[in-house]
């Protein structure tokens, strides 16, 4: 069965894809207007679990916060959200 992403996860996926296939989680949060970084983390976990993306350590910000970069895999770059089955 084809992978079908939840609405918020699909929004995160599309944001990454529309921004060159790679984005920082903080940029995803700001770009999608999400209140909490945990929302992005949950969506990224789903993308990684489905082998659509990988996480990379981007170091730390000046104030010590961890920077996480999410990059689409080849499978992610070619992913198309399946349409709902009309059953």
pLDDT digits (tens, 9 = 90+) for 64-80: 989 999 999 999 999 99
With respect to residue 28, please indicate whether it lies within any of the assigned structural domains.
yes
What's the pLDDT tens digit per position in 16-63? Answer: 999 999 999 999 999 999 999 999 999 999 999 999 999 999 999 899
Range of the domain at 12: 8-70
Total number of domains in the chain = 1
Residue, of 84 and 38, whose pLDDT is higher: 38
* DSSP reduced 3-state for 3: coil
CA distance 48 to 30: 21
Distances (CA, A) of 53 to 48, 62, 63, 75, 77: 5, 26, 27, 8, 9
For the cut 70, the answer to whether the pLDDT of residue 2 exceeds it is no
Q: What CATH number should be reported for the domain holding residue 36?
A: 1.10.10
Residue at 36 is within a domain = yes
Answer yes or no: is pLDDT of 86 > 60: no
Q: Does residue 73 contact residue 51 with C-beta atoms inside 8 Å?
A: yes
Determine the pLDDT at residue 1: 55
Rounded Cα–Cα distance for residues 57 and 14 (Å): 21
Enclosing H/E stretch for 31: helix 25-32
Whether residue 65 is contained in a domain is answered as yes
């Amino acid at each position: 069965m084809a992978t079908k992403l939840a609405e918020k996860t699909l929004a995160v996926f599309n944001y990454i894809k529309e921004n060159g296939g790679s984005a920082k989680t903080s940029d995803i949060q700001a770009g999608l207007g999400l209140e909490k970084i945990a929302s992005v983390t949950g969506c990224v976990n789903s993308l990684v679990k489905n082998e659509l993306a990988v996480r990379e350590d981007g170091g730390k910000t000046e104030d010590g916060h961890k920077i996480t970069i999410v990059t689409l895999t080849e499978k992610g770059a070619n992913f198309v959200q399946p349409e709902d089955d009309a059953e």
